[in-house]
Chains A and B, each alone.
Chain A
């Protein structure tokens, strides 16, 4: 088995040098990591699993990569090998991203971006890698389905001043402030995405389309009491019936409050707060504004 291991590793190295990632991964997969014939320590097992997963991920093969990351997950908790642990985290985040579990991927990317050490083992963690992880966290959060958890992650990212230096920051700001994103902005954002993030979903929308339309619909619901589907389609840059389809699904999934009048072809957005509560809120903000003015006068000695 020793000889087989050495030959496989050598072949995998050659495949890797020719950038035939999956072939290299398959070559290493043939190594029997659970053999009873010889003693294999957990760190070696972990390093091989992570190495195979990374090779599969070079070809965006999340399925095969996940199989080895799942094996590694039993080993990583007891591993003291920081480099391997970090590589495991990165693989896991990328697999979630490839599987379009964007919110979970965003949380893991963000966790990786917060690493304080700049030297782990013989690996140097450079700022650019951390910035990439942070940017990936922002991208995945924006692509995630709108809802309260996504809003919380958006708030965390928006308040992290490192994000203000990212190229993607203007989009993050508009998404956090629930502002409508116009087509030029969406197209610019699309250029930064990976192929799987622009994949066509079963309902013929791309991942990006769906995320942007849902976001813009929620943003429109903050601005409009009601809007015709004709106008909504123009505002979102899509066909009116598509706007109606997505709006109805979001209302059904309780991710947006409203009702659809198909006769009039109008959507009525509802405020989450009762009229009386709105009255209270208006009075509270009125008193707050009054206090601001009185504080301003006091500051100016008036």
Chain B
């Protein structure tokens, strides 16, 4: 099912949900 595979591929690229120094500081 190519469409589903493309959707999964796009979904995986959204991981990790966020990456930024500011986030790390806020998160800690």
Beta-carbon contact of A276 and B27 below 8 Å:
yes
- Of residues 141 to 185 in A, which have CB atoms within 8 Å of B's CB atoms? none
Beta-carbon contact of A292 and B7 below 8 Å:
yes
CA distance A282 to B23 in the complex (A): 12
Beta-carbon contact of B22 and A282 below 8 Å:
no
Interface footprint category on B: 10 to 19
At the interface, is chain B mostly helix, strand, loop or mixed? helix
B1 neighbours in A (Cβ, 8 Å): 297, 300, 302
A-B contact count (CB 8 A): 44
Residue in B closest to A293 when the chains form the complex, CB atoms: B7
Q: How far is the CB of B16 from chain A (nearest CB, A)?
A: 9
A282-B14, A289-B14, A293-B11 known; A276 vs B26 contact (CB < 8 Å): yes
Q: How many residues belonging to A are interface residues under a CB distance threshold of 8 Å? A: 17
A186 within 8 A of B: no
B15 neighbours in A (Cβ, 8 Å): 286
CA distance A286 to B13 in the complex (A): 10
CA distance A286 to B15 in the complex (A): 8
CA distance A285 to B10 in the complex (A): 12
CA distance A290 to B15 in the complex (A): 12
A237 within 8 A of B: no
Residue in A closest to B18 when the chains form the complex, CB atoms: A279
A251 within 8 A of B: no
- Of residues 1 to 28 in B, which have CB atoms within 8 Å of A's CB atoms? 1, 3-4, 7-8, 10-11, 14-15, 17-18, 20, 22-23, 26-27
Given contacts A278-B18, A302-B4, 9 further A-B contacts (CB under 8 A): A275-B26, A279-B17, A279-B23, A282-B18, A283-B17, A289-B7, A293-B7, A293-B11, A296-B7
